[in-house]
Chain A
Amino acid sequence: KNQVEQSPQSLIILEGKNCTLQCNYTVSPFSNLRWYKQDTGRGPVSLTIMTFSENTKSNGRYTATLDADTKQSSLHITASQLSDSASYICVVLNYGQNFVFGPGTRLSVLP
């Protein structure tokens, strides 16, 4: 069964600290993996998209990693800001053109 799991479910950190969010998937056949940021009451916004051959991709203070062998991905946020408070959703696309959404990690950055 195609599934995407994320951990932790929620996370609270202080402004300026780093954090890492985890994503495990069983989607097959794998096409690409995306991380989205979703502010409360808004639609998801793409942060990174990674294909099978990519191990790391950065977008400013966001760095995503992908291990296709273990089917794991992580999103590392450096020097967190208050505006980073949001839900972060891991999404995997299979070659059947089906997006499989993770449940998201709710990040709260406190001053």
Chain B
Amino acid sequence: SAVISQKPSRDICQRGTSLTIQCQVDSQVTMMFWYRQQPGQSLTLIATANQGSEATYESGFVIDKFPISRPNLTFSTLTVSNMSPEDSSIYLCSVGDRSGTEAFFGQGTRLTVV
């Protein structure tokens, strides 16, 4: 199984600022994903982080608001830009293989925007 380290685990931020969340995996993985989980809701896929190319965003999510980097096969970052209180959520990094046999999640970053 993959061990995923996500930082920070939580943060309280002022509206209008940006926060970058880091995801580090202990082994090389093909697929990395970023999810958002709003209070009381299930997970919603933000984007697939592609190594060496631009991330693939799901409907409703745009690069200007959620820029993603993936410089190698073990690391990715998600930035939440120009934050508003509506961005208060848990953000989760996930890794998996192309077959979908395995999917692992980081412990999440609990973001509160005030």
Contacts and interface: CB of A to CB of B under 8 A. Distances in A.
Contact of B45 (A36, A46, A49, A99): A99
B9 to A, nearest CB: 8
Given A41-B110, A97-B98, A46 B104 contact: yes
A43 B106 contact: yes
Contacts of A44: 43, 92, 105
Interface of A (DSSP majority class): strand
Interface in A21-75: 31-32, 34, 36, 41-46, 49
Contact of B41 (A31, A45, A91, A103): A103
Interface of B: 4, 6, 10, 41-45, 90, 92, 98, 100-108, 110
A49 B103 CA distance: 10
Q: How large is the interface on A (under 10, 10 to 19, 20 to 34, 35 or more residues)?
A: 20 to 34
A103 B105 contact: no
B90 to A, nearest CB: 8
Contacts of A46: 102-104
A31 B100 CA distance: 8
B104 A102 contact: no
A45 to B, nearest CB: 7
A102 B44 CA distance: 10
A49 B43 CA distance: 18
Contacts of B103: 34, 46, 91, 93, 99
25 contacts: A31-B100, A32-B101, A41-B10, A41-B108, A41-B110, A42-B107, A42-B108, A43-B92, A43-B107, A44-B43, A44-B92, A45-B105, A46-B103, A49-B101, A89-B42, A89-B43, A91-B103, A93-B103, A97-B98, A99-B45, A101-B42, A102-B42, A103-B41, A103-B42, A104-B42
